[in-house]
Structure 1
Amino acid sequence: MEIYEVVIRLLLAILIGGLIGYEREFKNRPAGFRTHILVCIGACVISMIQLYDVQKTVQLILAQPQLASALKADIGRIGAQVVSGVGFLGAGTIIHEKGSIKGLTTAASLWVVACIGLAIGLGYYYLSILAAIAVAICLVTLKKFESRFLEKASVIKIQIEYLDKKEMVQKVDSYFEDKNVKIKNIEFLLEEELEGEFAYMKSLYTILVPRYVRREELIKDLASFNEVLGVSII
């Protein structure tokens, strides 16, 4: 392999890894610009090492034909270890926070950058460039499509003031179940005096609301319960 080929492949690895990493950095993800570049360069280097091994093996066999049955060059073995090994790096970007999982897209982008790096190192330029374009489209364009059209639940906190705890909890639970709203957490706050006569309580609900359910509708419906004194979004 000529020196200019090595330079071209390393520069392309930096370009493609940086392109994908910039998008992750812009979204303030755990693995960003430099991480993706390093993964892509590393995978590219491994691919070129494999090519050098194959070339060296061929040269030895041509020089000493009797070694043909003894020398073997498996061009895919080291690359397979890279693909599986990057999975551990990707696992480090996945965060479990309050019942939700974050970082899966970044972990996947690291994995695909490693795959593209292997392709660059092996000299598959068209494949590498087209794959990078496909990844960029997936991360940028499809993100907008996903946010606009695909149903996703949003986390909101609702504070409810009420008089009868038992009745309120039963009605609210039943209402949320009908609306396919999932309760992540409930905090029951201290009782307070209302006009010196009645004691009322506050509860803070952390809920997952589907996209098709309007927040205004939730507030209006909950406020209509007889036991509820007030509802507000925190």
Structure 2
Amino acid sequence: MIWITLEHILRVIIAGLCGAMIGYERRSRHKEAGIRTHFIVSVGAALMMVISKYGFTDMGNWENVSLDPSRVAAQIVSGVGFLGAGTIFMNKQRIKGLTTAAGIWATAGVGMAVGAGMYAVGIGVAALILLIQFAMHGHSSPAMSSRSHKLTVHLVNHTDPVENLLEVLEENSVQVQSIQSRTDEATQSNSDIHDHQLQSQIELVLEIKFPAAMKVADVLLIVQAQPDVRRVHLE
């Protein structure tokens, strides 16, 4: 009995690791759902599959009881579909989050496969997802400069200023490798020196890479053109 229980736990652990690997790829591209989300989705799907297959064995001898393990699997698929829909949104006439939502849905499938004992299928599909993601991003990205640059940006703390800046950088093929932020103390608005309204600012320190054909001045112009940007420095 204890060996069966350990095998069930092993299935959940393997499913979680597969989900974490998919989530790592998403986090590395600063997407909405990262390691924790994909890990939990995969672990939850595997757990529910284990419960579906083995959690009702004590009811096998009951009369007039009909068990259908596939019903739990069907509910996982529909339930995770609603979860993935929460990562899809439209911004400036562009739909974002479709790939992340599909990744969450596929991660649930990986967890279900491992939870059902289909280790090779679950691990193989997780590897296939990672392969396609890295291959497609690598194929579509232009040649990057060999060194990283430190970009310091001061933003007015309006609605989603950081997200808007990251979106603009992505649109211009600038890769953000790491990001740090802090909120400055309130400072006087630069838009109207006669207006005493105080606004807090966000200081971002980003490590970036940009295409070899792009100059430092080009990156500065792209960032400075954003309405929320107050100061920018690139080194």
TM-score, normalised to structure 1's length?
0.58
The percent of aligned pairs where both chains have the same amino acid is 39
Q: Structure 1 38/155 Cα, relative in aligned 2: closer, same or farther at 3 Å? A: closer
- Indicate the residue corresponding to 1:108 in structure 2: 102
| CA displacement 1:64-111 (0-9 Å, x = unmatched) | xxx2xx221211111111111111111111121100011100000000
SS of corresponding position for 1:38: helix
Match of 1:25 among 27, 48, 55: 27
- 1:134, distance to aligned residue in structure 2 (A): 0.8
Q: Which amino acid aligns with 2:21?
A: L
- Indicate the residue corresponding to 2:86 in structure 1: 92
- Indicate the residue corresponding to 1:164 in structure 2: none
Find the aligned partners of 1:23 and 1:48 in 2 and give their Cα distance.
27
Find the aligned partners of 1:56 and 1:135 in 2 and give their Cα distance.
37
- TM superposition outliers: structure 1 runs of 4+ over 4 Å: none
* Contact residue 45 and residue 112 of structure 2 kept, 8 A: yes
Residue correspondences, number: 147
Q: Structure 1 155/43 Cα, relative in aligned 2: closer, same or farther at 3 Å? A: closer
SS of corresponding position for 1:73: coil
SS of corresponding position for 2:95: strand
Q: Which amino acid aligns with 1:28?
A: H
Find the aligned partners of 1:75 and 1:145 in 2 and give their Cα distance.
42
- 1:22, distance to aligned residue in structure 2 (A): 0.5
RMSD: 2.3
- 1:121, distance to aligned residue in structure 2 (A): 0.9
**Quick check: which has more Rg, 1 or 2?**
1
* Contact residue 40 and residue 116 of structure 1 kept, 8 A: yes
**Structure with more helix by fraction:** 1
* Contact residue 54 and residue 75 of structure 1 kept, 8 A: no
Q: Does 1:3 align with 2:5?
A: yes
The answer for unaligned runs of 5 or more in structure 1 is 62-66, 149-153, 157-231
The answer for unaligned runs of 5 or more in structure 2 is 143-169, 173-220, 226-235
What does 1:72-91 correspond to in 2, within 5 Å? 72-91=66-85
- 1:146, distance to aligned residue in structure 2 (A): 4.2
- 1:11, distance to aligned residue in structure 2 (A): 1.2
Q: Which amino acid aligns with 2:108?
A: A
